[in-house]
Amino acid sequence: MKIYLKIWRQKNSQSKGGFVDYTLTEVSKDMSFLEMLDMLNIQLVKKGERPVEFDHDCREGICGQCGVMINGIAHGPLKHTTTCQLHMRSFEDGDTIYVEPFKATAFPIVRDLKVNRSSLDHIIASGGYVSVDTGQAPEANSIPVTHEQAEAAFDSAACIGCGACVASCKNSSAALFTSAKISQLAQLPQGNKETPQRVVSMVNQMEEEGFGHCSFTEACQVECPEDISVLNIARMNYEYNRSRLLKK
């Protein structure tokens, strides 16, 4: 296949970026999208040019490190798929593909397609955990958790932290990411004791990091590789309001 690429190149967070055109021939349908970028990079390096910097690691769709906007869609055209799991069979010979970084105030660009998503870590650090030290745990079966509870908690816990929800949101809100962790822990007896403090500190941290507010367009769930439900956001809001009311 012949593929025309328009890739966002930017030297660092301060400099001005722009699209640069590249053409690749002999792209195979079995290649993953990132392997296609690998192919481009080898060619660029051989020509004495700088390769396109992009983030990736496991290439199995689980680590959450990869993620770019492909033709304006986070992780590209396939539903519930990370960039690394997207294959070139999703494109046609002669297609033009726009590749951009995830853009958000809270995700400054590091170089080209690499962004800094440590703001998501800061949200977790503000309360996304159960306060249990090593050694304090009781016998695992001493607190039963129903099958349904465990499965529901898992559905929320499946978030891979890639940031596609933020990149897809017109307000660059991290509500889906934040609420998924709040919901997971709120639905488990081990985690729900701390819900009132957790929800307030995580929501505050989200604002502090420069993420926008949620206005319920639900674009986040549509583009989420793990199909994390927007109902998590509803639960977060419920828990937040409950916590504020209880305080009064």
Q: What is the DSSP string of 178-195?
A: HHHHHHHHHTSTTTGGGH
Which residues from 180-199 bind another protein, rule CB under 8 A? 184-185, 188, 190-191
Positive or negative: CA dihedral 67, 73, 76, 78: positive
Choose, by CB under 8 A, the member of 14, 16, 134, 248 that binds another protein.
Answer: 134
Choose, by CB under 8 A, the member of 38, 73, 196, 237 that binds another protein.
Answer: 38
Check if the beta carbon of residue 17 is closer than 8 Å to that of residue 109. Answer: yes
Task: Pick the closest to residue 67 from 234, 223, 236 (CA basis).
Answer: 223
* Residue 23 vs 215, nearer CB to another protein: 23
Least distance in angstroms from the C-beta of 234 to another protein: 20
Check if the beta carbon of residue 98 is closer than 8 Å to that of residue 6. Answer: yes
- Can you name the residues that pair with 106 across neighbouring β-strands? none
Site string for another protein, 1-30 (x = CB under 8 A): -----------x---------------x-x
Choose, by CB under 8 A, the member of 15, 20, 42, 207 that binds another protein.
Answer: 42
Piece of the chain touching another protein by CB under 8 A; list 96-104, 144-152, 164-172, 210-218 = 144-152
Q: What residue type is assigned to position 168 of the chain? A: S
Task: Pick the closest to residue 164 from 72, 48, 236 (CA basis).
Answer: 72
Choose, by CB under 8 A, the member of 21, 60, 72, 246 that binds another protein.
Answer: 60
Q: Is 48 in the site for another protein (CB under 8 A)?
A: yes
Site size toward another protein, by CB under 8 A: 78
Q: How many CB atoms lie within 10 A of CB 154?
A: 12
**Spatial distance between the Cα atoms of 31 and 37, rounded to a whole number of angstroms:** 10
Which residues from 86-105 bind another protein, rule CB under 8 A? 87, 89
Q: Is 216 in the site for another protein (CB under 8 A)?
A: no
